Chain A
């Protein structure tokens, strides 16, 4: 994880302004309406998320826009945006590949997943492929240890990976397909690998 989260991303990427699209603005107003009057600052995280979905990342201009919409000091928004690593403070590729390397995934050979990503994409952590498709990131536990090893790509989890299935997922994404998310080793959810063992018979 980059230690520089406390500072704005490189200025050459930072746009001067940010405006929500018409649909997102309507969505933002719906979100803000959930909170009582004078308490709309509570909407800061959903709004930042909305901005990230629109721009792919959260530029400082977007934080400023959110702060002004919620009538809160800008620094309060910067604090939130820099606290949560899920907010991207620098531009990322179309697919943000977040590889979990925390202990359970590591024990299930996440190193092979990392290596597969590196060689398939030709990039290291915190880098983006030249075609702008993929950004690779190393993250801490994403809470799917039972299906380790796993990666998160945008909003989807890909679990029970090995080097081969990892490359297959990346290949599919590169082709423009949307591979089926979830376990890639044939099992349903987190059932035992060898098939269901309980509640299988009639009585």
Chain B
């Protein structure tokens, strides 16, 4: 059968893929067709009736979203018949829709508003009683105003299909039909916020953002997210000095058009518990000081030390520029002790393939099987999990897991939670014999433990044994959870010869190491640092700042132009949306100033020259939005693995970093969904 059909749309003849719907074909021909229920990434419902067009020889207007193509079709989207049909559909939709746009948060960015202007009649002929619908409890993140609902069912389909949490449905019938979860328990999905974007009217709006701003007051900045290592593309909407909301930005190869709830809702943590001025510890605890005093104290401490007793640990939200500047500064000081892995996750610093998701996120769709090792992608990289589910929905994809049991949102063959299962697979007991392009994904739960090197080695050998690496296909992947991690490893922010790693630094603090620089490192056991002089460079007053002797306030991710490398090895740029609060400065400037105080100035005075230096050393960091594939070599250790079971790396999805811990919305979500993610619901 021919792959394409030739159809005429509004007098324009085009050749299009025959698998498209008529609505998509109309778009390709440049014709705009109004729609509410149709969405590219969801199944077709055909229930809003807004996309009616006239098809020659058809007895009545046709819902173009649900119409398949036939050769020689002649379609009109703007004829009198089509216009009248669209106007009538709009009139029906507006019958029960309240005229409350002035108090509706969707106002100004509402599909119904826009399309009523474009396709509606302008006046209402309806004088009867309008129906009203009780509000629903969809949890603390999503505010409902169900009287505005036009029953497009996008939210139902998204949760069923993409999120895999079939929480919503349409109950009742006719006039009494309602979109609801019936039992009023909130929507426990880590992707639930996306139904706010999908809702074409103001029925589902953002809870925390309710009545905060109008869209035309906001300044939009395109950026990338750092709440996990996925690097979801987002737009940051701000007003004045405050970031008011984060919305997804389309990137087919990463997040498509979804973002996780943490990405979307943790931003109110950006204005709380901030370090907005330098602090120094005196006899009476921490006191406010000037930049001059703080930098003076820090440099004095660093100058008078034996260089090999100085160490640096980088946290999970640090950008590449900062890491590069810090690494340079450590080299200038002459200390080998630095690590960007506060959790001690195993990686071979010489083999890039040992810390990337080599298959890439989009590449998951080319796989036909997947072995998860100590990875709970739903909590650790929700967007990657959505892609795994998408692949599973397409059929012919089996997933097995060696790790803690979790509801992954697709069926998973549980192979137990002991390293013994890995030994058996390595010995040839394949969980999916015959798979051509298997994935082997190791998570933090498997690699961030004492025998991480051994598990990493076993995972690599399993990848070889299962045939996960061949030709162009590299199915081995590490599921990083820290936005800074891949960038840090790419930059070699790891112990130099003879240097301590994070565990070594913490163990040696107070003895072998007496000065520790924490670059936003808060997820470590800070009690060990009591005996050391701690210089904290970061943006939130959290565990690290609590033990610091000098605090140098830095910029959060929305406050600086910065490079982050996502878990597939894709460098991306975050852009400054707002200025850092108070006296806080961009991190690399702080390090540059500190180097000046030390009398060993770093060789860059602006961001451009820093980036030039950085890409001179690691060229692929300059290839923005491009993945440089990593060569496959052997890595990891052949030592024996311990028999301890793998533990979940993330207990609570909503609170993983300084920003999300400072976010009131995330603590509301934690209270509403204590398990982090929903534990029941069958996979459909």
Contacts and interface: CB of A to CB of B under 8 A. Distances in A.
A, B co-complexed: yes
Interface string A136-169: 0000000000000000000000000000000000
B682 A71 contact: yes
Contacts of A60: 182-183
Given A72-B684, A75-B182, A78-B182, A5 B166 contact: no
B681 A73 contact: yes
A73 B684 contact: yes
B682 to A, nearest CB: 6
Contacts of B168: 75
B682 A73 contact: yes
A88 B168 CA distance: 21
A76 B180 contact: no
A122 to B, nearest CB: 28
Contacts of A79: 169-171
B173 A76 contact: no
Nearest to A3: B176
Nearest to A5: B172
B171 A6 contact: yes
Interface in A33-63: 60
Given A5-B172, A60-B183, A75 B177 contact: no
A8 interface: yes
Contacts of A7: 134, 171, 178, 180, 182
B171 A76 contact: no
Interface residues of A, number: 17
A78 B169 contact: yes
A75 B166 contact: yes
A6 B684 contact: no
Interface in B61-115: none
Contact of B171 (A71, A73, A82): A82
Nearest to B146: A6
B220 interface: no
B167 interface: yes
B637 interface: no
Question: Which of B173, B175, B176 has the largest count of A CB atoms less than 10 A from its CB?
Answer: B176
Interface string B287-322: 000000000000000000000000000000000000
Contacts, number: 55
B169 A76 contact: yes
A6 B181 CA distance: 10
A73 B183 CA distance: 13
Question: Which of A4, A60, A72, A79 has the largest count of B CB atoms less than 10 A from its CB?
Answer: A79
Interface in A1-50: 3-8
A88 to B, nearest CB: 14
Nearest to B170: A79
Nearest to A63: B182
A154 B183 CA distance: 28
B176 A75 contact: no
Nearest to A79: B169
B175 A72 contact: no
A5 B183 CA distance: 13
A75 B160 CA distance: 11
A79 B177 CA distance: 10
A196 to B, nearest CB: 41
A10 B684 CA distance: 30
B134 A76 contact: no
Nearest to B168: A75
Interface string B499-527: 00000000000000000000000000000
Interface in A73-114: 73-76, 78-79, 82-83
Contact of A75 (B134, B167, B172, B173): B167
Given A75-B167, A78-B169, A5 B684 contact: no
B153 to A, nearest CB: 11
B172 A83 contact: yes
A118 B591 CA distance: 85
A74 B684 CA distance: 12
A71 B684 CA distance: 9
Nearest to A85: B173
A5 B682 contact: no
A5 B169 contact: no
Nearest to A60: B183
A6 B176 contact: yes
Interface string B672-684: 0000000001101
A71 to B, nearest CB: 6
A76 B681 CA distance: 11
A82 B178 CA distance: 10
A76 to B, nearest CB: 6
Question: Which of B168, B169, B173 has the largest count of A CB atoms less than 10 A from its CB?
Answer: B169
B171 to A, nearest CB: 4
Contacts of A71: 682
Contacts of B181: 75
A91 to B, nearest CB: 18
A72 B682 contact: yes
Question: Which of A4, A76, A82, A83 has the largest count of B CB atoms less than 10 A from its CB?
Answer: A82
Nearest to B133: A6
Contacts of A83: 171-173
B11 to A, nearest CB: 43
B549 to A, nearest CB: 55
Nearest to B684: A73
Nearest to B176: A3
B175 to A, nearest CB: 7
Nearest to A41: B684
Contacts of B684: 72-73
A13 to B, nearest CB: 15
Question: Which of A4, A74, A75 has the largest count of B CB atoms less than 10 A from its CB?
Answer: A75
Contacts of B160: 73
A53 B495 CA distance: 72
A70 to B, nearest CB: 10
B269 to A, nearest CB: 32
Contact of B183 (A3, A8, A72, A76): A8
A10 to B, nearest CB: 14
B182 A73 contact: no
B172 A82 contact: yes
**Closest 10 interchain pairs by CB?**
A73-B166, A6-B172, A6-B178, A75-B169, A82-B171, A6-B171, A78-B182, A79-B169, A5-B172, A3-B176
Interface of B: 134, 160, 166-173, 175-178, 180-183, 681-682, 684
21 contacts: A3-B175, A5-B171, A5-B172, A6-B176, A7-B134, A7-B171, A7-B178, A8-B183, A71-B682, A72-B682, A72-B684, A73-B160, A74-B681, A75-B166, A75-B169, A78-B169, A78-B171, A79-B170, A82-B171, A82-B182, A83-B172
Given A5-B171, A73-B166, A83-B172, 4 more contacts: A5-B173, A8-B183, A73-B684, A74-B183
